[in-house]
Amino acid sequence: MKRRILFVDDEPLVLQGLQRMLRALREDWDMLYVGSGAEALARMAEQTVDVVVSDMRMPGMNGVELLQEVARRHPGTIRMILSGDAHPEHVLQCVNIAHQFLSKPCDAFTLRQALERVFSLESRLGDERMRSFLNGLTSLPSVPSIYQELREKLASPEASVEAVGEILQRDPAMTAKLLQLVNSASFGLGRQVTHPAQAALLLGLETIKTLTLWLHVFSSAQRLNVPGFNVDELARTSLQTGQLARLLVREEGGSRALQDTALTGGLLHDLGQLALAVGDPEIFAQARQLTQQAGVTEWQAERQLRGFTHAEVGAYLLALWGLPFDLVEAVAYHHEPRAGGGRGFTAVTALHVAVALQARQGLQPVSGLDAEYLTAANLNDHLETWLDVAAEAAANRPV
């Protein structure tokens, strides 16, 4: 069946422009165009819609209010904002409700690529075997309330290091773990941090938010007892992968937002391994054994035995938690970046490269890199620079 996409904008000329621009895609998608939030909800009550693409500023019901109502009434519908209002405060309002934010003007290629990326990810995470497996789990951590509170605060105009510090101080256990982490040699701050607001000032608000989620996930996993599964080792390598992914983005001149996404992706990219180890220790052990005996990678062994991988499991959990699309995508495709369909140096690229470089032993050649993907992105000649970045990060890492 063709995907059905509903475009919502109160400017008739904008809708007419979208229709003209997307006319060539009528054979691929069923596209509807309405002029208000109320009209959109009425249309969705009559027929199933796969994606809603809404303008931000509309009279009566703005884009955020519309997508909030869509999330409540039709939780399975993908929600996107397409707006010329790129004011940071307004963009932040979309963080918790829109799967993606696209800026006007937006050409047909960019819009099509964005929609196809969403459809590809949705298809990958829709495997019924994986959903059935996850639905049977009872001991996985859920997203902590303190993370949700931090997320909401950072999306508001009142975001500040003081506000973040106040929220963290309400959870003494989390504050203690956070301060222990940021004072460790892993962050190399060169000074003693004694207050969470101080940590937020030195590391950045987004980094602090991310670390609370990472600490919660791995602290909750400490009580797990799965033979052959070392939670501390997984936490350590995840932290190192996240830090390296952020350094790679910085080396490539990426934005602070992209650096934050790369860090978060690295910290949580193996979340799915927790689920697989807990859900079926026997199959988890078989995958490890198959990796050693057949010379395949761990994720290839998982797919052979289960039909899905830890990358897809982790991405599905992050999607359930409402984390941003770019982060979910990076985790889903960190072993298979070509499946993501993105171009250039993205969060997927940073995480894919960081994982491969972290797995490298000594001076051995780098394995696990998708050469075709890097060639298509014109990035093959960047490998030597990335190796230098990884070597410097390893040299500065505590023993």
Sign, CA torsion 31/34/37/41 = negative
Q: Which helix (H) or strand (E) holds 110?
A: helix 108-124
Rg (CA), the chain: 22
pLDDT bin (cut points 50, 70, 90) of residue 355 is very high
Q: What is the mean pLDDT of the chain?
A: 85
Among residues 263, 257, 270, which one has the least CA distance to residue 244? 263
Question: pTM for this structure?
Answer: 0.77
Residues 104, 15: contact at Cβ < 8 Å?
Answer: no
On whether the CB atoms of residues 201 and 161 are closer than 8 A, the answer is yes
In this prediction, residues 241-252 reach a mean pLDDT of 95
* pLDDT score at 349: 96
Mean pLDDT calculated for residue range 346-371: 87
d(CA 340, CA 145): 31
CATH of 134-395, one of 3.40.50.300, 1.10.1740.10, 1.10.3210.10, 1.10.1660.10: 1.10.3210.10
Cα–Cα distance, 110 to 258 (Å, whole number): 18
**pLDDT of amino acid 316:** 86
Helix (H) or strand (E) holding 322: none
Asked if residues 8 and 55 have their Cβ atoms less than 8 Å apart, the reply is: yes
Give the residue from 348, 357, 345 showing the smallest Cα distance to 393: 357
Asked, colleague to colleague, whether 3-124 and 134-395 share their fold, the answer is no
Q: Find the length of the chain.
A: 399
Residues contacting 270, CB < 8 A, separation 6+: 234, 237, 238, 310, 314
> Helix or strand or coil: residue 316?
helix
pLDDT digits (tens, 9 = 90+) for 6-45: 999 999 999 999 999 889 888 889 999 999 999 999 999 9
Q: Which of 116-130, 236-250, 335-349 has the lowest mean pLDDT?
A: 116-130
The tens digit of pLDDT for each residue in 193-205 reads 888 888 888 888 8
Residue 306 clears pLDDT 80, i.e. is over it:
yes
| CATH number for the segment(s) 3-124 | 3.40.50.2300
Q: How far is CA 361 from CA 110, 163, 214, 358, in A?
A: 39, 43, 26, 8
List the domain boundaries for the chain.
3-124, 134-395
Whole-Å CA distances, 98 to 3, 95, 200, 317, 323: 19, 6, 26, 17, 10
Residue 51 has pLDDT above 80, yes or no: yes
| Cα-to-chain-centroid distance, residue 146 | 19
